Amino acid sequence: MKNILLAVTGGIAAYKAIDLTSKLTQADYEVRVMLTDHAQEFVTPLAFQAIGRNPVYTNTFIEQNPEEIQHVALGDWADAIVVAPATANTIAKLANGIADDMVTSTILATETPKFIAPAMNVHMYENKRTQHNLATLSADGYYFLEPGEGFLACGYVAKGRMEEPLQILERLNQYFNNDLPNKKNSKFKGVHAIVTAGPTIEELDPVRYLSNRSSGKMGYALAESLSKRGAKVTLISGPTHLDAPKNVELIPIESAQQMFEAVKLRFDSTDIVFKSAAVSDYAPAEMLDHKLKKQAGDLTVTFKRTPDILKYLGENKHKQFLVGFAAETQNIETYAQKKLKSKNVDVIIANNVGDRTIGFSSDDNAYTMYYKNGKAVELGKHKKVILAEHILDNLETRWQ
Ligand SMILES: Cc1cc2nc3c(=O)[nH]c(=O)nc-3n(C[C@H](O)[C@H](O)[C@H](O)COP(=O)(O)O)c2cc1C
């Protein structure tokens, strides 16, 4: 029997936590519940005590057993902690290491795996601070029980509803059956990964070049998440405004040709390649030694094809797992499927760059992962740092 510590915080969805306690108990989990002060404005400790048949914890300073420090012992007792519903306030406290009540003190004091089910008004959810805090928690290894879209108590029909108790139960079952990745025992531990990121720039003359809008954010987020999971990461990046993540080897390049050389050099000793850079398909046929002077009439420039890095990797891979990206403005699925086959890639992560609210320079994106075996996994719209976690979580369960 597994022990679940359920942390209930002060959101309108606190009533769902009573149902969750019931479902977990019926599924043979041993459930103990902690409530914040504000949670008790919505639900009573007695309801949880009666359903879970266990003591309920509300105050760090009421020590029920003199032989132990309650908030430390409780965290260690649990096989998993579930924060449901998780308010924006408690999420912010957890992301910043604040421990000023029973819930936050217990969670800060334990290494037990944590699941978090945000529930709040859509603007609170989409607020930059909340998204930043969620990204911090996700990068710290919290499992994210994504809120659904639907009717919210505030009157909006939007994203922010707490994940349904049945779905939470299923995620926990998955976790305990080893179907969900355990980030501490990540498959990426010790693996050598190459991540390509950012744009390339293709020079026409000493002052002009052809480039694109890629910010590099996705690749840098992937490099950071891989490194946190124990991978040895080489980040081969075109010019960006980003700092290299900690413990990641950064190889700065400019042109597609330089990126090709840098990847080729390291490919043999690599286990997995994430090709998230936006590599120019064409470069000016000739790089002029001097600045091109204005002339009468139009200018015609001839472009040559740059090396097709992904194709080269697909043709030359022996053990390597190839993750390609497809940024398209139309027929996304058809193009992704075609690229998967023609370039001998294992997964294509596709997105619509025609939507200016996501993609290139934005912090957000929305991806679908297309696997070689025909499986398609929709990742939805998220901050790129959260998408990086979702991409890796997904690969953890499917990459052999
Ligand atoms: C009627 C009502 C409903 C609320 N619902 C939510 C909610 O769904 N999500 C949320 O993050 N905060 C919600 N709040 C605000 C929180 O209760 C408030 O931020 C509180 O400080 C959270 O405390 P806690 O995180 O310690 O439980 C609500 C407040 C009221 C009065």
Q: How does strand 202-203 pair with strand 192-197?
A: unpaired
Pocket test for ligand 1, best of 6, 8, 12, 130 (most atoms within 8 A of CB): 12
Where are the strands (E) in 187-231, listed by range? 192-197, 202-203, 209-210
Q: Do domains 3-180 and 185-398 have the same CATH topology?
A: yes
Q: How does strand 282-284 pair with strand 202-203?
A: unpaired
> 161: CA distance to ligand 1 center in Å?
13
Q: Whose CA is nearest to atom 28 of ligand 1?
A: 11
The per-residue pLDDT for range 28-82, each reduced to its tens digit, is 999 999 999 999 999 999 999 999 999 999 999 998 888 889 999 999 999 999 9
The per-residue pLDDT for range 131-162, each reduced to its tens digit, is 889 888 887 788 888 887 767 676 766 678 89
The per-residue pLDDT for range 356-387, each reduced to its tens digit, is 665 566 677 888 899 988 888 888 777 788 88
Domain ranges of the chain: 3-180, 185-398
Enter the tokens of residue 112: 């037990």
* Range scoring the smallest mean pLDDT among 84-93, 199-208, 236-245, 322-331: 322-331
Is the CB of residue 11 below 6 angstroms from any atom belonging to ligand 1? yes
> 153: CA distance to ligand 1 center in Å?
11
Check residues 152 and 335 and name the one with the higher pLDDT: 335
Is the CB of residue 36 below 6 angstroms from any atom belonging to ligand 1? yes
Distance (Å, rounded) from C-alpha 194 to C-alpha 225? 13
Q: Is the peptide bond before 85 cis (omega within 30 degrees of 0)?
A: yes
The per-residue pLDDT for range 170-180, each reduced to its tens digit, is 889 888 876 55
Is the CB of residue 89 below 6 angstroms from any atom belonging to ligand 1? yes
Instruction: Give buried/exposed letters for 99-129 (b at 16+ CB in 10 A, else e).
Output: bebbbbbbbebbebbbbbbbbbbbebbeeee
Contact 259, 307 (CB under 8 A): no
> 191: CA distance to ligand 1 center in Å?
42
Catalytic residue among 154, 285, 287, 301: 154
Q: How many CB atoms lie within 10 A of CB 195?
A: 31
Contact 368, 350 (CB under 8 A): yes
CA 14 and chain centroid, separation? 26
The pLDDT of residue 399 = 78
Nearest by Cα to 323 from 191, 163, 164: 191
Atom of ligand 1 nearest to the CA of 103: 26
Is the CB of residue 133 below 6 angstroms from any atom belonging to ligand 1? no
Is the CB of residue 130 below 6 angstroms from any atom belonging to ligand 1? no
Average pLDDT over residues 338-363: 79
Instruction: Give the single-character DSSP code of 129.
Output: H
Enter the tokens of residue 281: 């398909």
Residues forming beta bridges with residue 350, ordered by sequence position: 326, 368
Contact 176, 239 (CB under 8 A): no
The pLDDT of residue 139 = 75
Atom of ligand 1 nearest to the CA of 39: 27
Element (H, E) at 301: none
Is the CB of residue 320 below 6 angstroms from any atom belonging to ligand 1? no
Q: How confident is the model at residue 16 (pLDDT cuts 50, 70, 90)?
A: very high
The pLDDT of residue 4 = 97
> 34: CA distance to ligand 1 center in Å?
16
Q: How confident is the model at residue 182 (pLDDT cuts 50, 70, 90)?
A: low
Distance (Å, rounded) from C-alpha 70 to C-alpha 109? 11
Instruction: Give buried/exposed letters for 242-252 (b at 16+ CB in 10 A, else e).
Output: bebbeebebbe
CA 119 and chain centroid, separation? 19
Residue type, 47: A
Q: Whose CA is nearest to atom 16 of ligand 1?
A: 10
∠ CA 231-232-236, nearest 5°, is: 115
Contact 179, 397 (CB under 8 A): yes
Q: How does strand 364-371 pair with strand 376-383?
A: antiparallel
Torsion over CA of 138, 394, 344 and 354, rounded to 10 degrees? -60
Fold topology of 185-398: Rossmann fold (3.40.50)
Can you say which residues are annotated as belonging to the binding site for CTP? 281, 291, 307-310, 325, 339, 343
The pLDDT of residue 136 = 85
> 17: CA distance to ligand 1 center in Å?
14
> 87: CA distance to ligand 1 center in Å?
6
Architecture of domain 3-180: 3-Layer(aba) Sandwich (3.40)
Provide the total of helices (H) and of strands (E) in the chain, helices listed first.
13, 20
Atom of ligand 1 nearest to the CA of 89: 25
Is the CB of residue 160 below 6 angstroms from any atom belonging to ligand 1? no
Q: How confident is the model at residue 354 (pLDDT cuts 50, 70, 90)?
A: low
Q: How confident is the model at residue 220 (pLDDT cuts 50, 70, 90)?
A: very high
Terminal alpha carbon distance of the chain = 30
Query: Is 89 designated active site?
Result: no
Q: What is the mean pLDDT of the chain?
A: 90
Is the CB of residue 10 below 6 angstroms from any atom belonging to ligand 1? yes
Is the CB of residue 12 below 6 angstroms from any atom belonging to ligand 1? yes
Torsion over CA of 358, 360, 364 and 366, rounded to 10 degrees? 60
Residue type, 134: L
Distance (Å, rounded) from C-alpha 125 to C-alpha 137? 14
